[in-house]
Amino acid sequence: MSSLPADISLDTLTPEAVAKTIDHALLRPDMTVDEVVEGCRLCARYKTASVCVRPCDVRVAAGELKGTGVAVGTVIGFPHGSSPASVKVCEALAAIDDGAEELDMVLNIGRLKSGRTGEVRSEISQVVRAAKERLPGCCVKVILECSLLTDDEKVAACRAAEDAGADYVKTSTGFSSGGATLADLRLMRASTDPATTRVKASGGIRTLDYLVECLQAGADRIGASATAAIVDDLRARKASAPSA
């Protein structure tokens, strides 16, 4: 399911492969339309996997990135996950109609912590089913917000998301009390079937070295806003490396 080398390291990764792991995040609440356009153009230059924009910016991003091969993604129930399932379904369908191909939805954290895993699974299933009926091939990622969960709750969330047909489980929104940790990534990878469910690391990934560590810990996709700095760092290291 991944185009990454089996042996992930700075030696085996290319700048192009690293860029293709990144969902470039444009989610700051104060971001202007011009900044969104600029961020989309950066994604087109670097050939990232996707851009992840606010729901109000999906049409702008879809217009900017048409024909570039960069997918347009957005967030659902963001950042707290507390909207009713019916609202999340409406958000998902509206986003797809505006041009989104990937959806990063926040699960209902309070319901999960209440032990109501069946409700969490049902909600995810409703969003997944509606999204894939509207757009076959739509990629749905479920944000756990790991910094608010116990390890047992993280495992339960991973299994609920997998059972509901989600394509990814994701560590964080980047707007809570913590971001991606290597321990959480390893736990999420161990709690899901790699043949069906991938792992996305998001929150606090600002350097090339940490991105590589996240990939080594089991992540397939990386949410980041420091895309240019990360990819340019690898290009610089490759350029300065002594020839064999």
Domain ranges for the chain, please list them: 18-233
pTM: 0.96
Tokens of 24: 């470039």
Q: How much is the pLDDT for 1?
A: 44
72: left (phi over 0), alpha (psi -120 to 50) or beta: beta
| Identified catalytic residue from 20, 88, 141, 200 | 200
Which pLDDT band holds residue 244 (cuts at 50, 70, 90)? low
CA distance 160 to 163: 5
Tell me, yes or no, if 132 is annotated catalytic.
Answer: no
Q: How much is the pLDDT for 5?
A: 80
Q: How much is the pLDDT for 6?
A: 80
Choosing among 3.50.50.60, 3.20.20.70, 1.10.287.1080, 3.40.50.300, the CATH entry for 18-233 is: 3.20.20.70
pLDDT at 54 over 60: yes
Tell me, yes or no, if 170 is annotated catalytic.
Answer: yes
| Identified catalytic residue from 66, 88, 170, 238 | 170
Which pLDDT band holds residue 242 (cuts at 50, 70, 90)? confident
Q: Which tens digit of pLDDT belongs to each residue from 67-119?
A: 999 999 999 999 999 999 999 999 999 999 999 999 999 999 999 999 999 99
Mean pLDDT of the chain: 96
User: In terms of C-beta density within 10 A (0-12 exposed, 13-18 middle, 19 or more buried), how is residue 29 classed?
Assistant: exposed
Mean pLDDT, range 182-200, rounded to an integer: 98
Q: Which tens digit of pLDDT belongs to each residue from 110-128?
A: 999 999 999 999 999 999 9
CA distances from 91 to 25, 170, 200 (A): 19, 19, 21
DSSP three-state, residue 185: helix
Question: Which residues have a Cβ under 8 Å from the Cβ of 3 and sit 6 or more positions away?
Answer: 17, 20
Q: Which tens digit of pLDDT belongs to each residue from 210-228?
A: 999 999 999 999 999 999 9
